[in-house]
Amino acid sequence: MPQGKPSMVPDDGLTTRQRRNRPLVFVHTGVGKGKSTAAFGLALRAWNQSWPVGVFQFVKSAKWKVGEERALRVLGDSGEGGTVAWHKMGEGWSWVQRDIASSEEAAREGWEQVKRDLAAETYQLYVLDEFTYPMHWGWVDADEVVAVLRDRPGNQHVVITGRNAPQQLMDFADLVTDMSKVKHPMDTGQKGQRGIEW
């Protein structure tokens, strides 16, 4: 894509403007660090365009203090850009599930809320953080997710993060980024640190 120009123009009957402004689905997956961080960067861009942003965290506990949450809430309340709503439905970090049944129920309830918000066109950007896990674990049906996203009304963009994104979701998405790990401080025994991981 030299100079931001697409390598081909599809014969889809759309004008350049219509094609440029169509709603997109993004998937950030893979074992590398940065999937959620990239999604929150997209949320900053959306906020700057005065879009309403809805963040849905599917795995992280509501007790966790996430740096991006505070920053986006402050920005959303500033009256300068778009609004930001933050929804947490997780019971704890994905690798140490404490109450699987409760986590499964919370994930399903979260997906039902996303479906209601998509139908109502509540937000222009949805960040479904770590939503691949409920699909991977079989708590939420990936085919249903694809169908709902395909039929969503209006101009709503959706970014989904997490490892093990289902193939049907990746096939459907407009943009898929696979974050691979080349090297990580944890490889040498260093734990996560304030300001970097949270």
pLDDT tens-digit profile of 25-34? Answer: 999 999 999 9
pLDDT at position 61, please? 57
Query: What is the percent of the chain with per-residue pLDDT over 90, rounded to a whole number?
Result: 62
Closest CA to 42 of 112, 121, 128: 128
> Who wins on pLDDT, 29 or 68?
29
Domain spans, the chain: 22-179
What string of DSSP letters covers the chain?
A: -GGG--S----SS--HHHHHTS--EEEEESSSS-HHHHHHHHHHHHHHTT--EEEEEEEEETT---HHHHHHHHHHHTTSS--EEEEEEESS-TTS-S-HHHHHHHHHHHHHHHHHHHHHT--SEEEEETTHHHHHTTSS-HHHHHHHHHT--SS-EEEEE-SS--HHHHHH-SEEEE---S--GGGGTPPP-TTTT-
pLDDT at position 16, please? 81
Instruction: Give the chain's radius of gyration (CA, Å).
Output: 17
pLDDT tens-digit profile of 1-12? Answer: 456 677 778 888
pLDDT tens-digit profile of 77-102? Answer: 999 999 999 998 765 444 445 556 77
Mean of the per-residue pLDDT values of the chain: 88
Dist CA 138 CA 124 (whole Å) = 27
pLDDT tens-digit profile of 138-186? Answer: 999 999 999 999 999 999 999 999 999 999 999 999 999 999 988 888 8
pLDDT at position 62, please? 58
> Who wins on pLDDT, 74 or 101?
74
pLDDT at position 99, please? 59
> Who wins on pLDDT, 132 or 181?
132
pLDDT at position 1, please? 45
- Topology at the third CATH level for domain 22-179: Rossmann fold (3.40.50)
pLDDT at position 53, please? 97
Question: Would you tell me how many other CB atoms lie within 10 Å of the CB of residue 192?
Answer: 10
pLDDT at position 95, please? 45
